[in-house]
Amino acid sequence: MIKKITAVFALALAGLFVAPVAANASYVPNAGITVSGSVTAGGTSTVSFGDGGFQPGETVSLALTGENATGATLAAVDTQTIQKTASSTGAVNLNVTLPTNATGSYTVTATGLTTGITGTATLTVTAAGSGSGSGGNDNDLADTGFGAPAFVVWGAAGAVALGAALIAVLIMVRRQRASLAA
């Protein structure tokens, strides 16, 4: 019986540390993604996936999605999906020229073809002369959501899983005792 309890606790403890690593392994942190330039119809913006976002020298597939995206160019290439090689620091920069009839939001998605790491940036088109673009700048919309570090969130989830495992073990022990007493 002690072996079963020990095994359950070992699995729960392993899940506490392994799950967060696996869950966070395939995304470029949003803090490493910046948008600069003019996010207006016909304007050119640079989307930068910062150092360490991808493996050095990794081939990265970049795609632009949005209304009228067929009229946009990515780094002077008349296509909406291109591949670039990450720098020696793992960074990738992409120049995006939006079409003259651009409206709404556009999403730039970068996917490392070796690691599967994915990063996204959103470009929201503003009227020409309105003052500010949208993207990774600090002057845009307020940052909403929960800003706790990932280890805190995963630690809480692990504690809940550990509690559930403990309850399951206690139920099993109670049933065994009841069956032995009968």
Query: Which residues are bridge partners to 112 per DSSP?
Result: 60
Residue 182 has pLDDT above 60, yes or no: yes
CA 117-119-125 angle, to 5 degrees, is: 160
DSSP assignment letter at 53: S
30 contacts: CB under 8 Å, gap ≥ 6? 136
Tens of pLDDT, residue by residue over 89-111, are 888 888 888 888 777 788 888 88
Q: What is the mean pLDDT of residues 121-139?
A: 60
Which pLDDT score, from 0 to 100, does residue 135 have?
Answer: 47
The structural domains of the chain, ordered by start, are 2-23+149-181 (no CATH), 30-124 (2.60.40.10)
Which of 23-32, 35-44, 73-82, 129-138 shows the lowest mean pLDDT across its residues?
129-138
Tens of pLDDT, residue by residue over 64-93, are 877 766 666 664 444 467 888 888 888 888
The residue that leads in pLDDT, 146 or 171, is: 171
Residue 166 has pLDDT above 90, yes or no: yes
Which pLDDT score, from 0 to 100, does residue 30 have?
Answer: 56
Give the pTM.
0.52
Residue in the structure block whose two tokens are 């690691």: 115
Which pLDDT score, from 0 to 100, does residue 77 have?
Answer: 41
Average pLDDT over the chain reads: 76
The whole-angstrom distance between residue 96's C-alpha and the CA centroid of its chain comes to 21
Minimal CA–CA distance to 107: which of 153, 74, 143?
A: 74
Q: How far is CA 84 from CA 15, 58, 71, in A?
A: 36, 8, 20
The residue that leads in pLDDT, 28 or 10, is: 10
Secondary structure class of 129 (helix, strand, coil): coil
